[in-house]
Amino acid sequence: MIFGDETGLPLSSEAGVLVLAAGQGTRMHSPLPKVLQKLLDKPMLWYLLTTLKRTFSSRPMVVAGHGRKRGEEACGSFETDLIYQERQLGTGHALQVAWDHIIRGGFKWLVVLNGDTPLIRPHQIQALLESVRSKDADVGLMSLELDDPGSYGRVIRSADGRVREVVEAGDFDARVHGPDVSEVNSGLYAFRISSLERILFQLDSNNKQKEFYLTQLISLAQQSGMTVEAVNAGRCSGLLGVNTPGELIHQEEYVRSCIVNDFIGQGVFIRSPDTVRIGPEVFIEPGSEITGPVEIYGKTRITSLSRIFSHCYIEDSFIDGGQVFCFSHIVESVIDSDTGVGPYARLRPGTRMRKGSRAGNFVEIKNSSVGAGSKINHLSYIGDTSMGEGVNVGAGTITCNYDGREKHETIIENKVFIGSNTALIAPGVLQEKSMIAAGSVITRDVPGESLGIARSRQKNLEGRSPLKNFKKSD
| pLDDT tens digit sequence for 383-398 | 999 999 999 999 999 9
- 314 assigned to some structural domain: yes
68 pLDDT higher than 50: yes
Cα 54 to Cα 258: distance, rounded to the nearest angstrom:
20
d(CA 428, CA 409): 7
In a domain, 10, yes or no: no
Tell me, yes or no, whether 366 and 442 share the same domain: yes
Task: State the Cα–Cα distance between residues 92 and 204, nearest whole angstrom.
Answer: 9
Instruction: Please report whether residue 77 resides in a domain.
Output: yes
302 and 443 belong to one structural domain: yes
Residues 260 and 355 in one domain: yes
Q: Provide the pLDDT for residue 468.
A: 76
Average pLDDT over residues 180-190: 88
Report the pLDDT value the prediction gives residue 1, as an integer from 0 to 100.
45
- Catalytic residue, chosen from 66, 311, 329, 378, is 378
Domain with residue 163: its CATH number is 3.90.550.10
**Could you tell me the CATH number of the domain that includes residue 257?**
2.160.10.10
Verify cis geometry, omega within 30 degrees of 0, for the bond prior to 427.
yes
Same domain, 317 and 174: no
- 313 and 266 belong to one structural domain: yes
Query: CA dihedral defined by 356, 362, 367, 369, rounded to 10 degrees?
Result: -20
Residue 222 and residue 343 in one domain: no
pLDDT mean over 63-84: 82
Min mean pLDDT across 32-46, 159-173, 288-302, 400-414 is at: 159-173
> DSSP H helical segments within 241-299, as ranges?
245-266
* Least confident range of 136-150, 253-267, 306-320, 357-371: 136-150
Rounded to 5°, angle at Cα 460 from 454 and 466: 120
**Which range (33-37, 165-169, 218-222, 306-310) has the least confidence?**
165-169
Please report whether residue 293 resides in a domain: yes
Least confident of 209-213, 407-411, 450-454: 209-213
d(CA 47, CA 42): 7
Q: Which domain holds residue 348?
A: 245-452
- Between CA 274 and CA 284, with CA 278 as vertex, the angle to 5 degrees is 110
Residue 73, pLDDT > 90, answer no
Q: Is the pLDDT of residue 183 over 90?
A: no
Cα(124)–Cα(161) distance, rounded to whole angstroms? Answer: 22
- Catalytic site residue 250? no
Closest CA to 370 of 379, 362, 358: 358
* pLDDT for 361 beyond 60: yes
Domain membership of residue 4 (yes or no) is no
Angle between helices 68-75 and 44-55 (to 10 degrees): 50
Q: E strands of 76-207, at which residues? A: 81-84, 109-114, 139-145, 154-157, 163-167, 183-192
- Domain closes at, from 239, 261, 277: 239
Res. 9 pLDDT band, cuts 50 70 90: low
CB 187 within 8 A of CB 217: no
CA distances to 187, 197, 199, 212, 224 from 206, in Å? 20, 21, 16, 8, 19
74-113 pLDDT per residue, tens: 787 788 899 999 888 999 999 999 999 999 999 999 999 9
Torsion of CA 26, 29, 32, 36, to 10 degrees: -80
The Cα–Cα gap between 170 and 319 comes to 51
Whether residues 185 and 250 fall in one domain:
no
- Of 189, 207, 239, the one marking the end of a domain is 239
pLDDT of 415 strictly over 50: yes
Query: What is the pLDDT averaged over residues 294-300?
Result: 98
Long-range own/partner contacts, residues 348-356 (CB < 8 A, 24 or more apart)? 353/322, 354/389
* Residue finishing a domain among 224, 239, 254: 239
Mean pLDDT value of segment 427-436: 98
Assigned domain for 472 exists: no
Rounded-to-integer distance, Cα 160 and Cα 151, Å: 26
Residue 216 lies in a domain: yes
Q: Are residues 288 and 376 in the same domain?
A: yes
For 113-244, where are the alpha helices, taking DSSP H only? 122-134, 174-177, 193-199, 216-223
Question: For the chain, what is the domain count?
Answer: 2
Residues 304 and 288: beta-carbon distance below 8 Å = yes
What average pLDDT does the chain have?
92
> Are residues 142 and 202 both part of a single domain?
yes
Higher pLDDT, 126 or 472: 126
Helix, coil or strand: residue 334: strand
Total-model pTM: 0.89
Q: Are residues 274 and 340 in the same domain?
A: yes
Residues 319 and 204 in one domain: no
| 199 and 263 together in one domain | no
CB contact at 8 A, 218 and 228:
yes
Residue 406 scores a pLDDT above 70: yes
Domain annotation covers residue 6:
no
